A = this chain, B = another copy of it.
Amino acid sequence: MSATGTARRLSINQWTVRRASIPELVSAAVGAGVPAVGLWREALAEFGVADTARAVVDAGLRVSSLCRGGFFTDPEPRAARAAHDGNLRAIEEAHDVGAPVLVLVAGGLPAGSRDLAGARERVRDAIGAIADAAAAAQVVLAIEPLHPMYVADRAVVSTLGQALDIAEQFPADAVGVVVDTFHVWWDPEVLAQIARAGRGGRIASYQVCDFPTPIPADVLLARGMMGDGHIDFGPLTSAVSAAGYRGDVEVEIFNQDIWDADPSGVVRLARERFEALVAPFLDPAAEDAR
């Protein structure tokens, strides 16, 4: 299949087909007519940054983002320094693999700490310490607010408004935000905050996946294929589009059943669901302009 029509802005995030190697991911994307991929640092470490970049370019694909930097909240100086250095390396890797965006997950409360406000301040400070390096590398740091159920153990940045409060302290070519439907759909302020993000040119990435219930025993694997949960992708996608976002739309799903399935079939299904539930709400003028 070729990446025509409504699939032209679709990207498959590597973690959606977590078992797939880089060559398998590339092959599944090409086979399903998906023109872009979101990559993870774990896979780069395994296959090599240069080899990955070559495999992607040779297949005619784009890289939409690299996941992920962040984990900024540990106050212990040695751990904070290691996180800082790791994030600088992540920026370099994003540049080298051709990813315009590095996704940042804030990190949770440090072990034994209940100082949520303090952890949130450290996130802001740590992003400030890498913003110049990101701008120099032409990589946008994309702060991803995670669903509030992950605030203790994964990300102290919980809403789009909070992510924008941080991002707006830095130039828009250095720091933006991720709008991930799974994480933000519940937020009564989400449409207003998407519009705010658009006004500032802050939407660095738009990711789609669904929120099914019941939430599984491992809450990190609570995501579902679009159409399998409670999210109405129309209003969110229309808002992101109206906010001026013209980049790739990544399908990123952490789900054991999907991980256990054949990667090529998963990517084909992601394209079908994307074309049915998401693409109709993207700006057609932006499609034509690509």
A115 to chain B: which residues have CB within 8 Å? 232
- Quick one: CB contact mask for A147-160 with B, threshold 8 Å, 1 for yes? 11101110000110
Looking at A120, A159, A230, A235, the one whose CB has the most chain B CB atoms below 10 A away is A230
- Within 8 Å of chain B (Cβ to Cβ): is A114? yes
**Chain A stretch 123-151: residues in CB contact (< 8 A) with chain B:** 147-149, 151
- Within 8 Å of chain B (Cβ to Cβ): is A219? yes
Docked complex Cα distance between A248 and B115 (Å): 26
Q: List 16 A-B contacts (CB under 8 A).
A: A114-B231, A114-B232, A120-B188, A147-B148, A147-B149, A148-B186, A148-B187, A152-B211, A153-B213, A158-B186, A158-B187, A158-B188, A161-B188, A161-B189, A215-B219, A217-B217
- Copies of this chain: 2
Interface size class on chain A is 20 to 34
Known: A116-B232, A162-B188. 9 other contacts (CB 8 A): A114-B232, A115-B232, A148-B187, A149-B149, A152-B229, A153-B213, A158-B188, A214-B219, A216-B217
A positions within 8 Å CB-CB of B: 109, 114-117, 120, 147-149, 151-153, 158-159, 161-162, 165, 185-189, 211, 213-217, 219, 229-232, 235
